[in-house]
Structure 1
Amino acid sequence: MLHLRLITPSDKTDDVVRLIEKTVGTAHVAVLPGAARNPVGDLVLCDVAREAGDELLTDLQELGIQERGSIAVENIDLSLSKRADKAEAEAPGEGADAVLWEHLADATHEESTLSATYLAFLTLATMIAACGVVLDNAILIVGAMAVGPEFGPLAGLSTALVQRAPRLALRSLIALVVGFAVAMAVTVGFSSFMDTLDLFSKEQLKADRPSTAFVYAPDAFSFIVAVLAGIAGTLSLTSAKSGALVGVAISVTTVPAAANAAVALSYGDTKQTWGSTEQLLLNLLGIVLAGALTLLAQKWLWGKRPRGNAP
């Protein structure tokens, strides 16, 4: 269930209440006239089944509530109410399959913004992965994958393609390009520093690395895994199952490939640098393509669901 908190202009409150009452899957409607002070208006509260949430939010925006008031949405972790159970049963579809497009756009907007924290996490992940590829340590590689925040802008780019949002697409591209450029540049310096300490060496990079050689040897499986990870990651975002993102993060080689390219570049190994760069670009392309296609499929399938209206 979702909880909606609306500040509505007094002249729109009756329309909002009628809209809520006619939407199948709503419950616990409460109206507090004149309760809002900034902006001035009435406070309307209600709960709605997740599968009816996007429909109701779209209709509320068509009334212009967001222009003169506000629309706030929260997830309800626990609701002990027979009326809520009835509302969820009446709403067509399954809550786990529902996509809240406004929530998705807002989440990807935040996660795809280039910030100091984003750069720090991506840079740290790349340096950890650099240690992993030089030492041929799979544990460090997995750890670096889990730390990397790059799925946020990748999801943002997929969402932007489906929603035709050029600003979100540009923001996501900037986060990806600048983020990886900075992370790789810092890792080149880090590799050189580790070399001066005799902790990294060209011989280690050139040696057989059975656990990490895959990061500079792209093949068909690289793209297939990236596509599968993109589908899983997108589903985890749209179904609010964020825990699955950890599994997605450690299934693709974006950060390790960037790290290997940076270390190889510091030693002038153009073959590994180019191979790792190909691996990185192949994974990025696969995730974005899979994410966009997954969102398009969800949009089409959910559009086939009958809209519910209360009698």
Structure 2
Amino acid sequence: MLHLRLIVPADRTQAVLHLVEDTVGTTHLAVLTGAARDPQGDVITCDVAREAADGLLHELRALGIDRDGAIAVENIDLSLSDRADRAEREAPGEGVDAVLWESLTDATHEESTLSVTYLAFLTLATMLAACGVVLDNAILIVGAMAVGPEFGPLAGVCTALVRRAPRLAWRALLALVVGFAVAMAVTVGFSLLMDAAGLFKESQVEGARPNTSFIWQPDPMSFVVALLAGAAGTLSLTSAKSGALVGVAISVTTVPAAANAAVAFGYSSYKQAWGSTEQLLLNLLGIVVAGTLTLLAQKLFWAGRKRVRG
């Protein structure tokens, strides 16, 4: 269940009350007349089943409540109420399958921000992966994959394509392009510094690396894995199963590929650098394609399940 707290202009209170009462899956409706001061209006609270929330939020925004009032949504961890149980049973579908498009758009917008923290995480992950590829250490590669924050902007691109939000798309693409460019540039300098200190050697990069050579040798399976990871990652975001993102992060080789390209470029091993770049682009493309198709499938699935009490 979700808890909605609304600040509603007085002239729209009745319209909002009718909307909430007519929406399948709502309960615990309360009205505090004139309680809001900034902005002025009435405070309306209710609980709504997750699978019914997206339609209700859409209608509330159509009434301009987000512009002239406020809409706040909170997850309810525990609700001991027969009415809440009945509301969840009446709502169409299952809550775990529901997509809150407003929440998804807001979350991906935040995760797609080109911030100092985002750049720091991506750069550190790429440098960590550089140590992994030079040492041929799979554990370091897995650690770097888990640290990398690149799935946020990738999810932002998918959401923007489905929601037709060009500003979000450009924001996410900027974070991806600038983020990887900065991370790879810093990693080139890092690898040269490590070489000067005697910790990296060209022979390690050019030699046999049975544990990490796949990073610069893309094949059809690379794209297949990226497709599966993109679908799984998108489902984890839309269903609030965020724990699955860890598995998604360590199943694709975006950060390791960027790191290997940077290290190989520093040693003028352009064949490896190009192969790693192909691996990186293949993974990014696969995730975006699968993520977008997953969101489209969910949108079509739920389009036919929305209903209103009559």
What TM-score range do you get, normalising by the shorter chain? over 0.9
| Match of residue 140 from structure 2 | 140
Q: Are 1:109 and 2:70 counterparts?
A: no
1:134-173 pair list within 5 angstroms: 134-173=134-173
Q: Which residue of 2 aligns with 1:200?
A: 200
* CA-CA distance at 1:75 after TM superposition: 1.1
Deviation of residue 207 (structure 1)? 1.1
Distance in 2, Cα, partners of 1:108 & 1:129: 25
3-state DSSP class of the match of 2:177? helix
Structure 2 match to 1:64: 64
> Which amino acid is the alignment partner of residue 215 of structure 2?
V
Q: Which residue matches 1:22?
A: 22
Q: CA offsets, 1:234-259, max 9 Å, x none?
A: 00000011111011000000000000
Q: Secondary structure at 1:227's aligned position in 2?
A: helix
Q: Residue 46 of structure 1: SS of its match in structure 2?
A: strand
Equivalent pairs, count: 310
Query: 1:153 Cα shift?
Result: 0.2
Partner of 1:309: 308
The whole-number CA distance in structure 2 between the counterparts of 1:10 and 1:158 is 38
User: 1:67 Cα deviation (Å)?
Assistant: 1.4
Q: Give the Cα–Cα distance (whole angstroms) in 1 for the partners of residues 230 and 157 of structure 2.
A: 12
Distance 1:272 1:135 in 2: 16
Q: CA deviation at 1:304?
A: 1.9
Q: State the shift of 1:90 in Å.
A: 0.3
- 1:145-294 to structure 2, matched below 5 A, reads 145-294=145-294
Distance 2:134 2:257 in 1: 12
How far is 1:96 from its partner? 1.2
CA distance in 2, matches of 1:122, 1:153: 12
Q: Alpha-carbon deviation of 1:309?
A: 2.4
CA deviation profile, 1:17-56 (whole Å, cap 9, x unmatched)? 1110110100111111111111011110000000000010
Matched letter for residue 308 of structure 2: N
Unaligned runs of 5+ in 1: none
Counterpart of 1:52 in structure 2 is 52
Counterparts of 2:68 and 2:246, CA distance in 1: 39
C-alpha distance in structure 2 between counterparts of 1:243 and 1:79, whole Å: 23
Question: Which amino acid in structure 2 is aligned with residue 177 of structure 1?
Answer: V
For structure 2, the 5+ residue unaligned runs are: none
Aligned match of 1:82? 82
Give me the TM-score of the superposition, normalised by structure 2: 0.99
The aligned amino acid for 2:309 is: A
Mapped to 1, the partners of 2:18 and 2:195 lie a distance apart of 70
- Give the Cα–Cα distance (whole angstroms) in 1 for the partners of residues 183 and 139 of structure 2: 20
Q: Secondary structure at the match of 1:255?
A: helix
Q: Distance in 2 between matches of 1:66 and 1:124?
A: 39
Quote how far apart the aligned CAs of 1:308 are. Answer: 2.8
Rounded to whole Å, the distance in 2 between the matches of 1:310 and 1:282 is 47
Output the amino acid matched with 1:160.
Answer: A
Following superposition, which runs of at least 4 residues in structure 1 exceed 4 angstroms of deviation?
A: none
Name the CA distance, whole Å, in 1 between partners of 2:76 and 2:178: 37
Tell me the equivalent position of 2:97. 97
Report the TM-score, using the length of structure 1 for normalisation. 0.99
Cα distance, 1:302 vs structure 2 = 1.0
SS in 1 for 2:88: helix
What is the aligned-residue RMSD (CA, Å)? 0.7
State the SS of the aligned residue for 1:297.
helix
Partner SS state of residue 251, structure 2: coil
Provide, for residues 251-296 of structure 1, a one-character-per-residue CA deviation record: whole Å limited to 9, x for no partner: 0000000000000010000000000000000000000010000000
